[in-house]
Amino acid sequence: MSASARGAYEAILRRQSARESAARTYARALPIVPVRARGLTIEGADGRRYLDCLSGAGTLALGHNHPVVLEAIRKVLDSGAPLHVLDLATPVKDAFVTELFRTLPHGLADHARVQFCGPAGTDAVEAALKLVRAATGRTGILAFTGAYHGMTAGALAASGGAPDVRVARLPFPQDYRCPFGIGGPQGVELAARWTESVLDDPKSGVPHPAGMILEPVQGEGGVIPAPDVWMRRMREVTAARAIPLIADEVQTGVGRTGTFWAVEHSGVTPDVMVLSKAIGGSLPLAVIVYRDDLDVWPPGAHAGTFRGNQLAMAAGTATLSYVRENDLAARAATLGTRMLDQLRQLGRHFACVGEVRGRGLMIGVEFVAAEDDGGGDFDAGIRDGAAGELDEPGEPAPVRGPGVAFEAGATATPAPWSEGPRPAAPDLAAAVQRECLRRGLIVELGGRHASVVRLLPPLTISDEQAAAVLDRLADAVAAAATAHTGGPPPPRRSNAASPRRGQDERAQKAGWRGD
């Protein structure tokens, strides 16, 4: 890159940090200036290319600028159709609703209503809460530990980090950090019983609620899939007590987890579904769909100026039908299973990997303090510069640790919860994210302790691209773990296999290296 181009790009980043809010988020960990993008790849103003496994926080089911999405947007632009229509009927909207209803779980599709909301997921969550309160005449909401539903008042109140008197918090089952310390089916059973007892105990302090809201896979909470059996229990528990069940599929929808909607894994039909992100085909769009007998709220109960985004509806229709026609949900299931297997192999080489989990192409790797360092002074490694500031973002960096090749046939790891969780290592996770960026890989951080590296690649990612992603991630983990321990990362069980066998070849083939 020429000196003047580098100067211009650095100036943009400097102006951003001088002018934008202290509350900005992704921009802090990802100091890049995207100028072009296609599929999985983003090109920065610095001329470097990145594999984008953040995908607009899970929005880009088809990756950046997919041809069918661009064509759909162009068609609306060229047609002279009005771009702003409030919530009036249009052919574009009509086509969107038809395609959306075609995808809905059985049991909801036949008698569903849709409410178009302000264009963010959080506004659709607000609408869902308002709807069930209007329909039941009750106010309380049941929500779960670790949940994330958005940033507006009601959605935030239902999220794990912000208690609200109208929201009763119940345990979300998970193995690695099981609230009951046992994990597995027993942990699930106890979580379900806790919910039942709260509802049935007249002195629980929780009045009969207006609804229950849950994520079929907690995303921001650390990529924690709800067990299918627990999902069915929550359906039974709520149905038996006339409590509407709200599934927040803002992040899990449109094939992401291996079925078109994540509730389909368990066969559960919710009463309300909250949808956003991928349904707009990369543009802002949010709706709720719900059983028509809940539709008793008055006109204007949930208004908003920007509920008629025609470009988003056209992009959304194209995305929904492309995912459906090409069965990208099945592709996400197959590839996701393979990537999870390979990441679990990686985890066996690094004591700092606490758990690898996910469903479909919604994948998380939780980083923890390694067994032998008791939490250690990981920051020292960062301060020493071993995994610190970015010097050449996007440039494949040298492997610092022994590296890992993914091989089949590794021995089974004991269930993670059988060892008990080790302390979360958010600094290490952040270092892995930085090392990924140095290697031209964009990943997300999340989880209750910000210790989970998350992958949300587009459903269109090829096998070769997936291999390149995993290679870069493996290199990044090795580098960050080396910095953490001040030496090669301690192998966990089996010996690390040959360092980068095949990695460069695969990356080269996929077109990500050697640019």
Chain contacts with ligand PLP (rule: CB under 6 A): 57, 120-122, 125, 148-150, 215, 219-220, 248, 250-251, 276
The least distance separating ligand PLP from the CB of residue 34, rounded to whole angstroms, comes to: 19
Name which of 215 and 471 has its Cβ closer to ligand PLP: 215
Taking the complex as a whole, the smallest distance from the CB of residue 375 to ligand PLP amounts, in Å, to 29
Cα–Cα distance measured from residue 499 to residue 316, given in angstroms and rounded to the nearest whole number: 42
Would you say 121 or 421 has its CB closer to ligand PLP? 121
Strand partners for 389: none
Yes or no: say if 333 and 260 are a contact pair by the CB < 8 Å rule.
no
**Which amino acid is present at 312?**
A
Nearer to ligand PLP, 159 or 482 (CB): 159
Task: Give the list of residues 6+ apart from residue 38 with CB closer than 8 angstroms, or none.
Answer: 63, 64, 65
**Closer residue to ligand PLP, CB minimum distance, 120 or 507:** 120
* Residue among 130 and 501 whose Cβ is closer to ligand PLP: 130
Residue type, 471: D
Contact yes or no for 315/73 (Cβ under 8 A): yes
**106, 163, 152: which is closest to 129 by C-alpha?**
152
Rounded to 5 degrees, φ, ψ at 142 are: -95, 130
Judged by CB, which is closer to ligand PLP: 57, or 92? 57
Structure tokens at 82: 């009005």
Contact criterion met (CB below 8 Å) for 295 and 113: yes
User: How far apart, in whole angstroms, are the C-alpha atoms of residue 154 and residue 132?
Assistant: 13
State the DSSP H helix or E strand holding residue 319, giving kind and residue range, or none if neither.
Answer: helix 310-325
Closest Cα partner for 416 from 118, 181, 115?
181
Which one, 230 or 417, has the nearer CB to ligand PLP?
A: 230
Name the minimum Å distance from CB 447 to ligand PLP.
Answer: 13
